[in-house]
Every structure is written in C-alpha cells, then in structure tokens.
Structure 1
C-alpha cells in the first residue's frame, strides 16, 4: 500500500468506528455527549482522580471538564469529595448509577469493535493491534502538544 493512501485508510477507519460506536451507544440508550462519556470513562479507570488529571487524560481544558463534571454530578453519575491531602482539590468518584452507565458504554464499545472485526481471524486481529500500536508509538514523543508540553493521554 502506498504511503499516501495510509492516511485515507486510517481516516476512513476512524470515521467508520465512530459511526459504529455512535450507533452502538444509541442502541444502549445512552444519551450523554461524547465529552461526558470520555470523562466518565476516565474517572472509572483512574483511582482518586481530580478534574485536572481528567482534563490531562482526555486532552482537553479544565474549564470544559468542570462544566461536564457539574452536569455528570447533577445526573448522579459522579460524586466529589474534598481531597484530604490538598483541601483546594476534589477527588472524583463514579457513583453506582455512573458505574451502570459506564458498563453500558463498555458494552457499546465491545459491540462496535465486534461488528467491525467480525470477519477477521484472531491472527489478523493480533496483527492489526500490533501494527496500530507501532504506528501510535511512531507518532508519540515526550509530549503530544509540544507548544504547551501537555503529556500524552493514555500513554503507557
């Protein structure tokens, strides 16, 4: 495959996955905006996290995260408690309702991936994961945003 068509293929794959994921999320009855979903996933996967850490993790500004957190808290999806080590900060936690929503989101993601990988063998999927991981590593430097030196989210 020529190098100039890799971008087109990746772009089409990304959009196909997003369409399928939106469809799966809708089928699960989830009505949250994408930002809220990303924040809920971040809180669910991080222990004793703060708004600043969530903003860093998902690569967006803290003000946008704070607005979404207010809405998620009003919907009883998350709770906040004062950080005992830093009283200026709040620790975010997922509630029982939030855990249920997160489980639905994870189910929707698994369904979307299942639809897209339906006719692929285990060996082909392993090869795809390895290739995609290599491509991701090839693009990562010490920081994702060299202007602000924002660390890369989801980096191992």
Structure 2
C-alpha cells in the first residue's frame, strides 16, 4: 500500500470514528432529552472534574476561545447546571461548580459515554483496547508538540 493511500485511509478512518462517536453520543443525549450540545457536555464535565475551574482555565484546557466558553457557561448557568462562586485566591475570577441538577445530568452523561464506548468497542479484546488507547495517546501527544517530535 502506498504511503499516500495509507495517510488517506488513516485520515478517513479517524474522521469516521470521531463522527460516529459524536453521532452516537448526540443520539443518546437527545433520546434522554438532555438537550446539551457536545461543547456544553465537555464544559460541564470539566467543571465536575476540577474544583478549581474558571472560565479561563476551561478555555485553555479545551483550546477554545474564551468568548465561546463564556457563551456556553452563560447557557449552563441559565439552565441551572452550574453556579459561580467568588475565587478566594483571585478577586477578579469566579470558580465554577456543578449544581445538584448539574451533577445528576453529569451522571446521565457518563452513562451515555459508557454506553457509546461499549457499543464502539463491542467485540474488541482487552489487549486491542489497550493497544488502541496507547497508540491514540501517542498520536495526541504528537499533535500537541510543536514539531511533532518527542
């Protein structure tokens, strides 16, 4: 197989994998009537996992524009899924926390992710999953370095 064909196949399969994963997530989120876009889910998950979350830290972690994250946070606040509290270490920023309702939604979202992962990995062995995880982590690390070298 030629290198160009391999690259095209890798690109195509990665695109199809990501698209398929997101499509399944969206379908189950919709089925459960959670009404959250993927970006909102990622932001809520970040807030639930990190008790020191601020708008700035989420924007950095997600590599998104702070204005976009601010819009998402505003919607999560108005939906009653998160709340803001003054940051005792920095009077200019606010810490973000999930509300009780936000925690309940997060539990459902984690179940959705588990269901999607189970569907996606059906028929794969533990070793295959381990190899996929290791290879994927290396690929992500390659993309996150300036030169692509480690």
Whether 2:30 is the aligned partner of 1:26: answer: yes
Which residue is equivalent to 1:121?
Answer: 125
Aligned residue in 2 for 1:102: 106
* Structure-1 residue corresponding to 2:17: 13
Q: Is the 8 A contact 1:28 1:108 kept in 2?
A: no
Task: Specify the alignment match of 1:83 in structure 2.
Answer: 87
Which ranges in structure 1 are unaligned for 5 or more consecutive residues?
Answer: 144-156
* Cα distance, 1:24 vs structure 2: 2.1
Q: Which has the higher contact order (CA 8 A, sep 6+)?
A: 1
The two structures have a TM-score, normalised by structure 2, of 0.87
Q: Tell which deviates more after alignment, 58-67 or 108-117.
A: 58-67
Q: Which residue of 2 aligns with 1:139?
A: 143
1:146 corresponds to which residue?
none
Of 65, 70, 74, 1:70 maps to: 74
| Cα distance in 1 for residues equivalent to 2:78 and 2:46 | 18
Q: Distance in 1 between matches of 2:37 and 2:7?
A: 35
Which is helix-richer, 1 or 2?
Answer: 2
Structure 1 residues 33 and 4, CA, compared in 2 at 3 Å: closer, same or farther?
A: closer
Task: Report the TM-score, using the length of structure 1 for normalisation.
Answer: 0.84
